[in-house]
Amino acid sequence: MMKKIRLICIATLLSTGIHAQKDITVHDNQTGKDEIIGLPEGMTYEIDSLLKEWNTKNYLDIDEKCESSNENPQYTKEQYISRLNRLPNVIEMPHNEVVQKFIDHYCTRLRRSVSYMLGANNFYVPIFEEALESYQLPLELKYLPVIESALNPEATSHVGAAGLWQFMIATGKMYGLDVNSLIDERRDPIKSSYAAAHYLQDLYQIFGDWTLVIAAYNCGPANVNKAIRRAGGSKDYWQIYPYLPQETRGYVPAFIAANYVMNYYCEHNICPMTATLPPSTDTIIVNRDVHFDQIVAVCNVKAEEVKALNPQYRTGLIPGGKKSCILRLPTHGISAFIAAGDSVYTYKSDELFTNRSEVAVNQATGRSSTSRSRRAQQNSYGQGKTVKVRQGDSLSTIAKRNGTTVAKLQKLNGMKGTSLRAGQSLRVR
């Protein structure tokens, strides 16, 4: 009860004064005109949506020891330039009025979201860094998901991009992420991070400049190449800037601002949420269909936990019978899963797996057809029938498919248990 009350307090505190904003206005001192720049998707999420994430509810909390004021101090342009220059980055991060506008936005309207993201960093940054390092990419790219998804693995954009790295379906599939009715690996933090690193490496092979790579990650290489042509062949991001789509114009400045605020939050009186790392987890390869409900019932794990650790499975069904699938659970859950053996797969399987593999069509058109059907059926009873066990089959699914019972199958085949192996011949009559 105390935990629930505390979460309500956190939600109330962090959501105060936060409303979704889709763009910002930058004043050009040279022309005297205002420019409206679209915000990246990750800068438009309201804080209450971020607080619904499972890791947040269970392992993030307000740091009561942090006594910083809520005031955002003002600094000179030279101070901002100096701080950006001190970041140990490979990617160029210059300062200008557009970058400053995004820094101000993070340090004012989004300061509570920054507090959340600083805490959530503990869950995701080690994954990002490992993936980026494996492709020998600049580690400051770990802040791309800050502007893409605000570190919310359940994020879905208005155009259908999903996950921490906001992959579109087509791009995700190009980089090995399965997306179908049962699986969406764009939401898998580990697989999507390696796919993103691979994609970023390929973009660098095209452009040879990291700011252009970051822009292309947002709007696609075709739009960046189009902007380069319109700018007379220049490959300087700040020269092709006016020719980019509206949101992409703000994308690189937002990336620079994210690097700034995630490193200099203390200077702006932003307190990170404190993080307690979740218990250790492990994975197992599943080669048979299994449902989250079966795992929860047999392996002593919570439904919300199974869902959060396996966000790629869209319906709660892990289709291991169709291809090998990864299941991630707390270490004790993996041990229980292994020890349970077939009992995990057979638990309420008749209720949970209702899709039929084979079904007869009712072709009766009258008395004579019905009589022929009955005679054919009577003849088949005397002939017996054998089937081959398929990957993922259980006695209950075979019994259901062939109009019999588990007990009858065991009796016909002299079986005492329920263990089966793919390719095994089994009498069903």
pLDDT tens string 394-429: 888 888 788 788 888 887 887 777 778 777 888 878
Coil vs helix vs strand at 256: helix
Taking every pair of Cα atoms in the chain, the longest distance, rounded to a whole number of angstroms, is 95
Q: Which two tokens stand for residue 116?
A: 């959340």
Residue 164 confidence (pLDDT) above 60: yes
Coil vs helix vs strand at 64: coil
Question: Rounded to two decimals, what is the model's pTM?
Answer: 0.78
Beta bridge partners of 317: 291
Task: State the pLDDT confidence band at 11, using cuts at 50, 70 and 90.
Answer: very low
Strand 425-427 versus strand 386-388 pairing type: antiparallel
Coil vs helix vs strand at 6: helix
pLDDT average, residue stretch 200-210:
98
pLDDT tens string 209-247: 999 999 999 999 999 999 999 999 999 999 999 999 988
The HSE-up count of residue 272 (CA atoms within 13 Å, CB side) is 16
**136-150, 252-266, 363-377, 394-408: which range is least confident on average?**
363-377
Task: State the pLDDT confidence band at 373, using cuts at 50, 70 and 90.
Answer: very low
Confirm if 355 and 426 have CB atoms less than 8 A apart: no
How high is the pLDDT of residue 9? 41
Coil vs helix vs strand at 417: coil
User: Residues 6 or more apart from 32 whose CB is under 8 A from it?
Assistant: none
Rounded Cα–Cα distance for residues 334 and 340 (Å): 10
Distance of CA 17 to the CA centre of its chain: 28
* Selection from 44, 248, 56, 214 nearest residue 144 by Cα: 214
Residue reference for tokens 């588990």: 406
More confident residue, 62 or 368: 62
Q: Which amino acid is present at 326?
A: I
How high is the pLDDT of residue 2? 36
